[in-house]
Structure 1
């Protein structure tokens, strides 16, 4: 008996052994991250990544996720997503540490001292704001903070996207109401961010994961339907594939032809619940990957149109006119065997890599010295324009504008200098004006669209070249509000009209007070100059004279009582 350990010591010893074994398993989980990083950067040092892991593991030690697994597994999985996308060492360090400031006692100052400013800025950019302090505004203000950080370093968004992707993968362990909220928020804001940054590889998976949460029955039905039709669809489309391969060979063009299966959400958007109408061409896109330069894509296009009949008006040239999210390709629609209509996408292999990984591919190239400029190839003007006025925006206004700017169905309008301005379908010159900035929008009086005079309410077509006409004396109007379609334009016009209404009310109220004082043989201006009016306004609870005068116009302050106070005030 005397050799027995005190109560609890054996349990603690067993727990220590378990934790050591667990930590060893966690460390082994880091190996795929290190291998992926070394594959993307053969000369990279792995010690900085290990150091970040060790700090994160220590900070999160003892924490568990809803699944019961050690919390450190989440940052490891987030980092693996980014490593496989080819992100640099600093980004991987920040990904491993991304939850430490928010969920542990590790402080930002400590992190900065341990890992430097670059990693600290990235971690701070993705750290949520305290919900107990910000309340219902926490979500919007966190997004505002993230967007501000992303304007300085886009890697913040990539970490956030990887974080959300892994959270979506593990949503099954969350209660139903939280699953719905996270999936809906992802659809509204984060998936559009992925598309805007050209991250289609992430976007497709996030699309389908959100689909499975928000519409589980529809997701299951279309998943079953596609699985049942995939093999037969490939057989039916195989003759078209073989004919196209032969046509490419006739052109002496080296290219790979792939039947690319579409993801579930994309098919659902096309066919909805009408699964009985599902055709093989709904399941697949014909993807042509050309071994060559841009001009070889046009040769491949000729081969496509030689082997199959093109559908008039359905050619889209995103090589000559790239989309604003790095995407470049040729799209065409053709009629294949049996009258089947098929969509064909033609890209070089480099275009394909960019189409799948977007910004991540560019960051990888820059880090390896293969490309000098990332931001110059990405349209971030929409982000800069949003940030130009966001400091004065309410949380709700900011989110509404952000959702509008991230719509996936945008058209491209152009300045006369060639700058692309993404706008929603149905947008007008007044929307274009406010997209250029509040000052231009506030003073707009008309536009030249493709060189012709057009009113501010005219509808803009894709590819329109727009020059906004302004006048210093012009001001936003109710007509401009009716013409505006974008959240940003409508918010800024409403804000200006509200301010103008307040100014008008104050002017009317002041005139009422001046007339009443004049009837009593006194001058309002004299009382204002001597500080009498300001003293009375302060006693009534108004910080500004205009606020008091506006209250008079609204009837909130009795005119006779105010005149009595003004005439008896000792100031």
Structure 2
């Protein structure tokens, strides 16, 4: 998006941008061949990955973007069109489809020029228009302080129908982070911090670790430049020696795979700087080889052969008990599948090993982008419906509608915080939850009605408290009663924004019901003094008719007004007992 990478025109206002765009369109056009020269690499890359792609769509999208952004500059001084072109190139490297590439080229036109979404739809079709609209920021002059929150809300809602919106947004932010150095210092920090809180977690949730790692390091460099430089220097100084020390272990694994008739590669997987800094807590003295690299075993065959490779690894070097993680049988919430183990080499050093098939590796690096690129359907749109690996997004969609703009971003940050556990229903359905979640969170993740009527829980077959902490792998069964209601104390215990919002709503409705009951009891007593029954007036429809006459949608609202003394009970009794009613 324009604002994150040095807005067009070096911060010029919208009117100036539109004037320049209009002036550019009136200028004498250059031949298309000259204009398309900067996009030649993009076109070649896209054709390489999609031999049957209609490149004319990409060409037209670039020419429209080049024409509309003519005269606009980035903070770097480069023509603004270099930004959408770079975003499109990132997406082409991921293997994304033609509509996504076209939308990337056009993604700032509606926001930063006088081009309308209607014009874009007429020229490029509904599919591209939906993608562009999904990543277009709302007008800050109209939305004020709520613009950022509502822009994210719109993007998430659009992503429910087509996850390519999020993929474009991540590529857009990645390029803006790459060019963040041209921004003033205060803006660098704001964008980097917002990226770490919101966009980087989205990349992780979508399994796009290749983007996540680079975004992590770019934010790290912006927020903590000295620490980043120190970490980079320490890694550079120790990398050659680390590779030399790890080579014997790699060779043992290669021989063990060959002995087990498993075809594959054994390579070093470099850890990114932000991960090294976090794990070492900035203590870089004597940085160990295993702190710089993990060992990656890539199996050429079927997924089942990863377990054979695991046996070979454990035969080659002694495994450390309790450190085997099977993300193949139990994938993470973001499509990530791999075997993780920890072994001790002959020198006594601890080594982390990852084992996965080549197909798993592609998914581990590119996540949802790989899934979209592999889609066999005519449209590469990916939706949330029916995808267990996107349960987190389904829950996000469920609670966002109940959140105000003020609460939405804070709740979103909480929902995206790192760390998660996998819990199970008795039938084996996986319910991903944040770390430290409680059975109350679990109940509301299943269904709001289950949460509202929860009275107890069985964890791994044993009774537990509803506010107890759940752990990875727990089998949870919620006990309910039809007349049960949420407790206000639950708000202290829950960790998920969805549960908190649903409890708030249930308590509000409960209080309204309680007040309505009090008012109805007061009215019934007053009517009984006239020798009548309120129940009869309700059955005849008189109560509802009077409520509507007084401006209430339902009788319960009128009863609540009686309890609040905003409707005089004598006047109401007179109306209800009026024989001409």
TM over 0.5: yes
Alignment partner of 2:506 out of 496, 514, 539: 496
Separation in 1, partners of 2:250, 2:544: 89
Single out whichever of 325-334 and 232-241 deviates more from structure 2.
Answer: 232-241
Alignment partner of 2:469 out of 446, 459, 465: 459
Q: Does 1:225 align with 2:234?
A: yes
CA offsets 1:385-435 (integer angstroms, 9 cap, x no match): 332343232123333333333233100112234332111222121111111
Shift of 1:78: 0.5
Alignment partner of 1:174 out of 148, 167, 183: 183
Structure 1 SS opposite 2:304: helix
Single out whichever of 19-28 and 395-404 deviates more from structure 2.
Answer: 19-28
Separation in 2, partners of 1:447, 1:566: 47
Matches within 5 A, 1:153-552: 153-367=162-376, 379-505=389-515, 545=558, 548-549=561-562, 552=565
Aligned length: 545
Task: Check 1:68–1:75 CA distance in 2 against 1; reply closer, same or farther (3 A cut).
Answer: same
Q: Does 1:47 align with 2:56?
A: yes
Separation in 1, partners of 2:443, 2:428: 15
Shift of 1:359: 1.0
CA offsets 1:308-343 (integer angstroms, 9 cap, x no match): 111110001111111121111110011113211110
Structure 2 SS opposite 1:334: strand
Separation in 2, partners of 1:105, 1:321: 49
2:158 maps to 149
Separation in 2, partners of 1:365, 1:531: 60
Task: Check 1:532–1:35 CA distance in 2 against 1; reply closer, same or farther (3 A cut).
Answer: closer
Shift of 1:372: 12
Which stretches in structure 2 are left out of the alignment for 5+ residues?
1-23
Q: Is this contact kept in 1: 2:423–2:431, CA < 8 A?
A: yes
Alignment partner of 1:139 out of 134, 148, 161: 148
Structure 1 SS opposite 2:389: coil
Which stretches in structure 1 are left out of the alignment for 5+ residues?
1-14
Structure 2 SS opposite 1:260: strand
Shift of 1:211: 1.0
1:121 maps to 130
Q: Is this contact kept in 2: 1:56–1:97, CA < 8 A?
A: yes
Shift of 1:568: 11
Shift of 1:253: 2.2
Q: Is this contact kept in 2: 1:333–1:341, CA < 8 A?
A: yes
Shift of 1:198: 0.9
Q: Does 1:84 align with 2:93?
A: yes
CA offsets 1:532-551 (integer angstroms, 9 cap, x no match): 9998999xxxx964674565
- Over aligned residue pairs, what C-alpha RMSD do you find? 3.5
Q: Is this contact kept in 2: 1:414–1:420, CA < 8 A?
A: yes
Q: Is this contact kept in 2: 1:533–1:566, CA < 8 A?
A: no
Q: Is this contact kept in 2: 1:537–1:544, CA < 8 A?
A: no
Separation in 1, partners of 2:563, 2:288: 65
Higher relative contact order (CA 8 A, sep 6+): 2
